[in-house]
Amino acid sequence: MTIVVDDPLISRMAIAQTLPLHESSRRLRELYPECPRVYGVAVMGDLSRRRWWPLAEALTTDRLAHMYEAAVAETDSRAAVCQQLAATLAHVVVGRVVPLLAIEGRAWDTGLENLWVHVDSEGAIDWVGVVDPTLRALPDDPYFGGRPGMRRRHAARDRIVALPSEAALTTWVAHRSHRALEPLFDRLYAVSEGALSVAAMWHLVGGAVVSASTQVPLLAGSSELTAMRRGQAVLDALVGFGAPVRGSSRTCATKVLLN
């Protein structure tokens, strides 16, 4: 039996106008109703900002250092703590957007200046929000086709933009994610005094992309091949930007993703 969790942060969102991002995030939350914050993002304009902070503050304040030291105080392994924080950052930036890219061909802006994070009572990141809710989408997105009986569509008002191709969309996602994660990983490396190499952090990004691209289509009942193709394109673009997202290559008879 599926358990639907009434999440207080989600239920208290004050949405004045339902945008395509709201609709996509609702569908993503429905993939895992037991833990509705696992997929999708919030729109910061809909929320009280208690316990939220801009992800960019990880570079300009001691927030990341405090998270690292608090976790180190509970374990003997600095490398394990650094790995967990790097995996969290990877999930915040790219691990959340790839599910939407994989199953709907849409993506929000993963730029550092656009992302906020929510922390729980212990200071751990448990949700993500965006300042600008504009989605980038494919030219054949259902939004642009419209449906009979719907109000007249206005892309600028509804905050959705069509990019010319799947290649353009996946490259844009990779570029924005790379620009966000590169300084975050450098900061984490400095905070942890080199407990984990930056290359190892990027390998975690590769794992996050592969995981999302292979698991989410199974939950959504959508095309696995389409999802894997889009995930592979993101990985290829990240490699092109100089991010070492690939660990040891491996192949599998039923999978087309390599990481």
Q: Which domains does the chain have, with CATH numbers?
A: 16-143+154-240 (1.10.510)
Of the listed ranges 70-74, 148-152, 169-173, 175-179, the least confidently predicted one is 148-152
CA distances 30 to 164, 196, 217, Å, are: 29, 35, 13
The fraction of the chain above a pLDDT of 90, given in percent, is: 76
C-beta of residue 101 within 8 angstroms of C-beta of residue 188: no
- Strands of the 160-162 sheet, one edge to the other: 106-108, 135-137, 160-162
| Mean pLDDT along residues 109-120 | 96
40: phi then psi, degrees, rounded to nearest 5: 85, 175
Q: Do 125 and 70 form a contact (C-beta atoms < 8 A)? A: no
Q: In what order do the strands lie in the sheet with 42-43?
A: 42-43, 125-130, 115-119, 52-54
- CA 208, CA 206: separation in Å to the nearest integer? 5
Can you tell me the distance from the alpha carbon of 99 to that of 77, in angstroms, rounded to the nearest whole number? 31
CA distance 1 to 148: 36
The listed range with the strongest mean pLDDT (34-48, 136-150, 166-180) is 166-180
**pLDDT value at residue 145:** 82
pTM, rounded to two decimals: 0.90
Least confident stretch, 153-162, 192-201, 216-225: 153-162
Helix (H, G, I), strand (E, B) or coil at 102: helix
Q: Mean pLDDT in the chain?
A: 90
**H helical segments located in 54-197:** 57-60, 63-72, 78-90, 97-104, 142-145, 155-158, 166-191
Rounded-to-integer distance, Cα 143 and Cα 71, Å: 44
